[in-house]
Amino acid sequence: MNKSLFSALVSACCITLSPLAISASAPFAIAIHGGAGTIEKSRFTPEQQQAYRSKLKEAVETGYKVLEQGGESLDAVTAAINVLENSPYFNAGRGAVYTYDGSHELDASIMDGRDRQAGAVAGVKHIENPINLARLVMEESVHVMLSGQGAEEFAKEQGVPLVENNLFDTDNRYKALLKAKEKLDKAKATSKEYQAAHRALPVNYKMGTVGAVALDKNGNLAAGTSTGGMTAKRFGRIGDAPVIGAGTFAENASCAVSATGHGEYFIRYNVAADICARVKYQSKTIAQAGDEVINSVLKPIGGTGGVIIVDSKGNISLPFNTSGMYRASKSNTQATYVAIFKDE
């Protein structure tokens, strides 16, 4: 073989095996949610609908841009959730609901699908973007979950500024608190038990979260979830959002999941991890696994909510068992999709 032909073959091989060429054809995808619940068209003005859709679109495209430029799934998830945390429309960050005592307690978690490293914070009151602190817990501490004052002491050590709790005050969330307390007081008139009174609250008072899942060009999955918790919650209640395996899970060998719903059910049924386990061990698609857990496991026992899922091939599934879920997705093979109601 002459030298020129040999050189040409070597060059062709190098081009074919180039990491740049491989990454250019690799799938990448992102999905986000802004909470599930009794979300009905009749309750929205056209302007309100547009405002929610615009913010969902902004969040998913912010995360997608990170992926498109070759960034990591963790960065895409964090960027997308920051957009939602900084909006008063969603129950996370600036839109967080009120506790029974009239303050705000926020939770968040994040997970890296490469090695199942994870970080979470619970019950923080002075952190503007809890998902960022959860990531610092994962990357800069030897722990997985920090709570309350301890989490905020760690934040100060990491140079994260603390903010006043009233940063998260909003009129509509305060009105929701007053309505919830009124309903609780009426329920107490017939039952002195806190549990019975709390069960009398409409389901929408018990849910509301934001989250993101992503696959980057290097084949790495990540998931993150952030929430203000449950309206009128008491006793330092913590839901599924900061619980790894319940509200958040990511593993390259299966999928990435972020959940939204009535957290107590998602904790008891280990929802996020269960979905990925069905994909990994039963060879289910994410659509099959998500539908089974959301509609066949949770729904019959009163567990309301939904999840967003991305797998290692860039497939996306967004199942929920409520009348609506704020959601959006985008991939290198799918245009931006934004929806709120069940029939979209």
Catalytic residue numbers?
209
Question: Exposed, middle or buried: residue 158 (CB in 10 Å: 0-12, 13-18, 19+)?
Answer: middle
Handedness of CA 270, 271, 272, 278 (dihedral sign): positive
Q: Given the structure tokens 């879920």, which residue do they identify?
A: 325
Length of the chain, please?
344
CA neighbor of 39 nearest in space, from 329, 340, 260: 340
Rounded distance between C-alpha atoms, residue 172 and residue 92, angstroms: 14
CA angle, 309 as apex, 306 and 311 as ends, to 5°?
A: 165
Query: Is there a contact between 124 and 163 (Cβ–Cβ < 8 Å)?
Result: no
How would you classify the pairing of strands 117-124 and 248-250?
A: unpaired
Query: Is there a contact between 284 and 299 (Cβ–Cβ < 8 Å)?
Result: no
